[in-house]
Amino acid sequence: MVGDWSISIGAKLDGLSVLMMVIVSTVSLAVQVYSVGYMAGDSGFARYFAVMALFTAAMLGLVIADNLLLLYMSWELVGLCSYLLIGFWYRKPEAANAAKKAFVVTRFGDVGFLLGLILLSYAAGTFQIDQIEAQVANGTLQPLFGSLTTFAAAVALLFFCGAVGKSAQFPLHIWLPDAMEGPTPVSALIHAATMVAAGVFLVARMFFLFEIAPVAMQVVTLIGGFTAFMAATIALAQFDIKRVLAYSTISQLGYMMMALGLGDRVAAMFHLGTHAYFKSLLFLSAGSVIHATHTQDMREMGGLFGKMRLTALTALVGALALAGIFPLSGFWSKDEILLAAWRGNHSFAFAAGLATALLTAFYMTRLWVMTFLGEPRSEHAQHAHEAPAVMSVPLFLLAVAAAVGGVGAPAVRSALENPSGGHATFSLPLALSATLVALFGILAGYRLYQRHQAKEPLQERLPAPVYTLLERKWFVDDFFTFVVARAVLWTARAIAWVDRHVVDGAVNAVAWFTGATGARLRWLTNGQAQFYVLVLVLSILATVAAVLSRFQ
């Protein structure tokens, strides 16, 4: 209770939150079991599981929140857990840096979320999502400025800022690849399956607001589509296995955003679900590989298929699901998004979607081939062996989920039963062409990478400027590091300097002036009676002279 406002905490269970709860809790379970093996012997074992548990709680709070304030609070808390887990190995300077970067960059987006929340709360007079939705539905929401459409667009875009930060969309995607400094199970749970999907969830949750604002929908589509494509191209030129997966996550989140922008909430959430399983599977498989080879650089792997058969197969399932190969889960969900773009007659989205599908198939093949085929390229890879059961059982279960997740489609559809939620079902020609594109990507990738080459084949085949662009990650990181971060730091230094030398300088100048004036005037009170009498006489004479001159 504050003033006339009563702020309470409550839960809202609808199809959307139940769907998210299922995803969050199952992936979390698999990852935590896996972690028992992965983190065994780490000095921060207890700390790790404490924060993971806090994360799961906060994430569940986020998806069941019935009001915006609780949603925002959980949103920040998962951000905190992400910070703590990215910086889990805090002695590593890179991890400490990545943790800070992740928090600050997402916080940047959160400002938008917070402002949107403030504006919306005043317009609706409540934080309750149900009530706001009802007001939007029957048109009683009082816009604070402009028409309802303009206001909704403004608020929706502010919320989208938060989503861009959390779900690592362009241009705030830069924190996610660095976040890979955290333990791999953390990357699987937080930075692939759940927290990064919170942005998508937020847009889906506030979908009623986006729907009445075409401008906002258009922005979401464009940012999503662009992010999907850009991140997929960057993934082509990475050698760190986790970073490839991180860029892939960014790309897939862009896919989901694009689906939302196209108005198809079902497709977006369906893809969110399937992606959560196959991407966490891929991360855990990668973790298993890293555990065995003690490196994240794919150039030092190779030939692991014979040594880690289960991991290789689960990774293959994950990769094919991500590439969208029939009948794995990714095939169904990706197809729905492409169909939405096709039906929505949005040529940019469709082109971006198809190009991303091709690139995805290509870089996943590259990853799998470089890791598991060919000859071992390092000492560790030579002696790698399969992970213990506590790690491989979760892998197997996730692989099953990733394979058959497609059957979840009707469940998602009925959970989100939304009259306006798109009518995409299935289109054979489209599915065929998408599959062909993916197969083409796989073939090309296999051809290029089946034999290990000293030089990255892409580097030879692509024009130099293009490859540099990919390798430098489209220069977005450089822009933030060299322009934004420096500008902020220099502003800080400048203000600190001004404070010391100008503002405080003025204070010291006053002090100096007082002291100096005192010193100058000291001769006035030198204690000699003759001097005082002299001044007295002179003053009297002056006064008399002045008075006399008046009278004349």
Partner 1 sequence: MDWIAKHALSLTILVPFITCLLILLVPPERKTVIRVMAAVATSITLLISLWLCFRFDFAKGGIQFEERLEWVPLAGVSYHLGVDGVSITLVLLTAFIIFTGVFASWTIEYRTKDFLSLLLFLVTGVFGVFVSIDLFFFFLFYEVAVLPMYLLIGIWGTGRKEYSAMKLTLYLLLGSAFILVGMLAVYFLSPTGTFDIPELLQTAKFTVEQQRVLFLMFYVGFGILAGIWPLHTWSPDGHASAPTAVSMLHAGVLMKLGAFGVLRVGMSLLPEGAQYWAPLMGTIAVINIVYGAFSAMGQTDLKYVIAYSSVSHMGVVMLGLAGMNAVSLTGSTLQMFAHGIMTGLFFALVGLVYEKSHTRDILKMGGFAEKMPGIAVAFVVGGLSSFGLPGTSGFVAEFLTFWGVWQSYPWMTYIGVAGIVITATYVLRVVQKVFLGKRPEGYDDLPDARTTEWVALVVLGAILIITGIVPRLLTDFLNVGVHDYLKLLGKV
Residue 114 touching partner 1 (CB under 8 A)? yes
Per-residue binding letters, 64-93, with partner 1 (x by CB under 8 A): --------xxx-xx--x--x---x--xxxx
Q: Closest distance between partner 1 and the C-beta of residue 212, in Å?
A: 23
Nearest to partner 1 of 141, 448 (CB atom):
141
488: left (phi over 0), alpha (psi -120 to 50) or beta: alpha
What distances in angstroms separate CA 137 from CA 133, 208, 238, one per listed residue? 6, 8, 46
Helix (H) or strand (E) holding 267: helix 265-293
What does the alpha-carbon distance between residue 239 and residue 297 come to, in Å, rounded to a whole number? 6
Q: Note the maximum CA span of the chain.
A: 122
Q: Identify the residue among 489, 534, 536, 545 touching partner 1 (CB under 8 A).
A: 489
What does the alpha-carbon distance between residue 19 and residue 270 come to, in Å, rounded to a whole number? 9
Residue 96 touching partner 1 (CB under 8 A)? yes
Phi, psi at 443, each rounded to 5°: -60, -45
Label residue 171 exposed, middle or buried (CB < 10 Å: 0-12, 13-18, 19+).
middle
Contact indicator for 274, 218 with CB cutoff of 8 Å: no
Q: Closest distance between partner 1 and the C-beta of residue 100, in Å?
A: 4
What does the alpha-carbon distance between residue 232 and residue 244 come to, in Å, rounded to a whole number? 9
Nearest to partner 1 of 205, 271 (CB atom):
205
Please list, in sequence order, all residues whose beta carbon lies within 8 angstroms of the beta carbon of residue 264, skipping any fewer than 6 positions away.
336, 337, 340, 344, 421, 422, 424
Q: Identify the residue among 492, 534, 538, 544 touching partner 1 (CB under 8 A).
A: 492
Nearest to partner 1 of 76, 477 (CB atom):
76
Per-residue binding letters, 120-149, with partner 1 (x by CB under 8 A): -xx---------------------------
Q: Identify the residue among 347, 414, 450, 491 touching partner 1 (CB under 8 A).
A: 491
Q: Which stretch binds partner 1 (CB under 8 A): 14-22, 26-34, 100-108, 351-359?
A: 100-108
Nearest to partner 1 of 5, 426 (CB atom):
5
Q: Is 297 helix (H, G, I), strand (E, B) or coil?
A: strand
Nearest to partner 1 of 116, 441 (CB atom):
116
Size of the site for partner 1 (CB under 8 A): 48
Residue 57 touching partner 1 (CB under 8 A)? no
Residue 419 touching partner 1 (CB under 8 A)? no
Residue 426 touching partner 1 (CB under 8 A)? no
Residue that the structure tokens 């058969």 belong to: 309
Side chain identity at residue 467, one-letter code = Y
Residue 97 touching partner 1 (CB under 8 A)? yes
What does the alpha-carbon distance between residue 276 and residue 29 come to, in Å, rounded to a whole number? 13
Residue 444 touching partner 1 (CB under 8 A)? no
Residue 494 touching partner 1 (CB under 8 A)? yes
Q: At what angle do helices 241-261 and 198-205 cross, to 10 degrees?
A: 10
Q: Is 42 helix (H, G, I), strand (E, B) or coil?
A: coil
Residue 4 touching partner 1 (CB under 8 A)? yes
Q: Which stretch binds partner 1 (CB under 8 A): 22-30, 94-102, 376-384, 389-397?
A: 94-102
Q: Identify the residue among 2, 454, 521, 529 touching partner 1 (CB under 8 A).
A: 2
What does the alpha-carbon distance between residue 508 and residue 114 come to, in Å, rounded to a whole number? 41
Q: Closest distance between partner 1 and the C-beta of residue 240, in Å?
A: 21
Alpha helices in 175-213 (DSSP H): 175-178, 184-188, 198-205, 207-211
Q: Closest distance between partner 1 and the C-beta of residue 522, in Å?
A: 20
Residue 183 touching partner 1 (CB under 8 A)? no
Q: Identify the residue among 118, 351, 389, 466 touching partner 1 (CB under 8 A).
A: 118
394: its two tokens: 């979760």
Residue 484 touching partner 1 (CB under 8 A)? no
What does the alpha-carbon distance between residue 257 and residue 71 come to, in Å, rounded to a whole number? 19
Q: Which of residues 503-532 bind partner 1 (CB under 8 A)?
A: 503-504, 506-507, 511
Nearest to partner 1 of 494, 537 (CB atom):
494
Contact indicator for 180, 246 with CB cutoff of 8 Å: yes
Q: Closest distance between partner 1 and the C-beta of residue 116, in Å?
A: 11
Q: Identify the residue among 40, 443, 495, 537 touching partner 1 (CB under 8 A).
A: 495
Q: Closest distance between partner 1 and the C-beta of residue 44, in Å?
A: 10
Q: At what angle do helices 68-86 and 148-166 cross, to 10 degrees?
A: 20
Binding region for partner 1 (CB under 8 A): 1-5, 72-74, 76-77, 80, 83, 87, 90-93, 95-97, 99-100, 103-104, 107-108, 111, 114-115, 118-119, 121-122, 488-489, 491-497, 499, 503-504, 506-507, 511
